[in-house]
Amino acid sequence: MLIVGAGPTGLTLACDLARRGVDVRVIEKERPAGSRGKGLQPRTLEVFEDLGVLDAITAAGAPYPPLRSYAGGEVVWEGRMHEPREPTPDVPYPTVLMVPQWRTEEILRDRLTVLGGRVEHAALTDLTQDDGGVTALLGTGDRIRAAYLVGADGGRSLVRKRLGVAFEGETHEAERMLIADVRTGDLDRDHWHMWADLAAQTLRAALCPLPGTDVFQFTSPLAGAETPEPSLATFQKILAEVSDVRLTDVGWTSVYRVNIRMAERFRDRRVFLAGDAAHVHSPAGGQGLNTGVQDAYNLGWKLAAERALDTYEEERLPVAAGVLGLSTRLYREAAERQADAHRRGEETEQLGIGYPGSSLAVGGGKAGERAPDAPLRDGRLFEVFQGTHFTLLGFGEEHAATVAEVNARYGPAVRAYTVGPAGDLADTAGHARRAYGTGGLVLVRPDGYIGVYDAPPGDYLRSLG
C-alpha cells in the first residue's frame, strides 16, 4: 500500500493500516511545520483514542480560549467560540481541542514509528495503474509497486491531477488572509486576542496562543489586490495600526486564499483520494483537517480487508459535500458580518455524521449511525470497540446463542458479547441499552459506525462474509 502525503489524513490512514499488519509506505516530498489547521473536533478525538494517540493529543492541546477584542489598549468585548460542555455517557470528549497541526502530525508520526512504519522523504512525479496494482515514479527515479495508492497530498494533489479528476468549485482570490506563527511577550496566553471594528464586524488582526508552545498564530485579512511580503516587518506594521504589541520572532508564514472545491470522484480503480486532495474548505468551523481524518478512518479497514472498497466513495463523497456546505455557510455568515458568526455548536463536531443510506447499513433504526460510548461496570464500550475488529452486541441473554456462534466462527476478527445486567458486558446502570435503544443485536464496524441494527441473525452473518 502506498500513501502519498504525510499530513493528518495520510498519517491517520498509515497508522490504521500498520496496526492491521498491512505493509504500507508513506512518502512526502516536504512538509512545512506550521500551525495551520489547529482545531480537533470531538469525533476526531474518538478516532485518535482508537488509534492510541489521544493521551498525547490531550497533553499537547487545550480547549479554545475565550475571545477578547480591543479598541487600542481597551477591552471592548469578550466571548467564546465554543461553550464548555461536560462529558456524557455517550459522548466522552465533547470539547474541541486546539492543537497546532505540526504537533498533531508529530504525534501521529511517532505512533506510526511504534507500529513499525515511517515517512519517506520522496516526491511523486507520476503514476500508472493496471488490473494488478499501481506503479509510482519518484523524483529519484525509483519506482514503487503497490496494490493500491491513496492520494492524501493536499489541495494541489499531483495524484488527482494525474488521474484527470476534476476539482470542481471556486477560489476566492479577493478573499485572502495573512497567517503566521509569531512570538510576543506583550500578551497573556489565556485569551484569543483580536482587534476589530465591532460595529462593522470587521477584523484587522488577531493573535491566538497555541497550546504547548510560546507561539501565537497571527491572522489578518488582506484588502486590495496587492500581497505584502509575509515578514516580521509586515506583521508588525499591521499590529502597530491597532495596538502597541511588539512581535519578537516569526516562523511559518502563509498567504491563505479561500478555496471551496471537491473532487468529482474519490476513486479511480486502484487509486483513492482523501483529505484536501478530495475536498478543500474555508477555515470556518474547523472542518477540513477533521474531515480528512474521517476519510482515512473510513478507508483503512476497507483497504486492509480489500472489501467494500466502492463504499468509500459512496459514503464519504456525500459527507464531504455536506461538510463543504456547512463550512461555506459559516464562512459566509462571517463575511456578511452576522453578529453570532463566531459561535460554534454541535453541527461542527462531526458526531452526527453517519451513513444511514449506505449499502453497508443493514436493518432499520440506527443502522449507519455513529456507535455511541457507554459506561459499563468494568470499563466503557469504546474500550471494547478499540482495535481492528468488528463488534457484535447482543442486548439480552436471549442472544447468547448467536453471540457464541459468531465468536466460534469469526473470532478474533469479530468479538461478540451479550450486554445486560448479567451479560458479558455488564451494563448495570442501563446506559448502553439506552444509548442503543434496542433489545436486539447490533454490529459495530471497525470504524465505530453501526453496520447492522435489529435485523435477523442471518443478516449479521452475511454482513461479515
Which residue in the block uniquely carries the three cell numbers 489598549? 73
Beta-carbon contacts of 71 under 8 Å, excluding residues fewer than 6 positions away, are 195, 198
Return the higher-pLDDT residue of 111 and 31.
111
Are the C-beta atoms of residues 123 and 129 closer than 8 Å to each other? no
* Residue 65 pLDDT: 95
* Residue 172 pLDDT: 72
Of all helices (H) and strands (E), which one includes residue 12?
helix 8-19
At 1-10, the pLDDT tens digits run 999 999 999 9
* Residue 330 pLDDT: 62
Whether CATH 3.40.50.300 fits 362-463? no
At 124-142, the pLDDT tens digits run 999 999 999 999 999 999 9
- Closest listed residue to residue 53, CA positions, set 118, 116, 104, 119: 104
Of all helices (H) and strands (E), which one includes residue 303?
helix 288-305
Mean pLDDT of 363-385: 96
β-pairing verdict for 67-71 and 74-79: antiparallel
Beta-carbon contacts of 9 under 8 Å, excluding residues fewer than 6 positions away, are 152, 274, 275, 276, 277, 289, 292, 293, 295, 296
**CA separation for the pair 219, 208 (Å, rounded):** 8
Whether CATH 3.30.70.2450 fits 171-258? yes
* Residue 331 pLDDT: 55
CA atoms within 13 A on the CB side of 150: 33
The residues spanned by each domain of the chain are 2-64+91-169+260-348, 171-258, 362-463
Q: How far lies 139's CA from each of 136, 144, 272, 446, in Å?
A: 10, 12, 21, 36
Residue 68 has what DSSP assignment?
E
416: β partners: 392
At 149-207, the pLDDT tens digits run 999 999 999 999 999 999 998 877 667 889 999 999 999 999 999 998 876 678 899 99
At 41-99, the pLDDT tens digits run 999 999 999 999 999 999 999 999 999 999 878 999 999 987 888 999 999 999 999 99
Beta-carbon contacts of 89 under 8 Å, excluding residues fewer than 6 positions away, are 372, 373, 374, 375, 431, 435
Pull the grid cell for residue 393: 452486541
- Closest listed residue to residue 179, CA positions, set 214, 156, 154, 205: 205
At 206-245, the pLDDT tens digits run 999 999 999 999 999 987 667 888 999 999 999 999 999 9
Pull the grid cell for residue 9: 489524513
How much of the chain, in percent, has pLDDT values that exceed 70?
92
* CATH hierarchy code of domain 2-64+91-169+260-348: 3.50.50.60
450: β partners: 444
Burial of 191 (0-12, 13-18, 19+ CB in 10 A): middle
**Which runs of consecutive H residues, i.e. helices, occur in 362-430?**
381-385, 400-410
| Residue 148 pLDDT exceeds 50 | yes
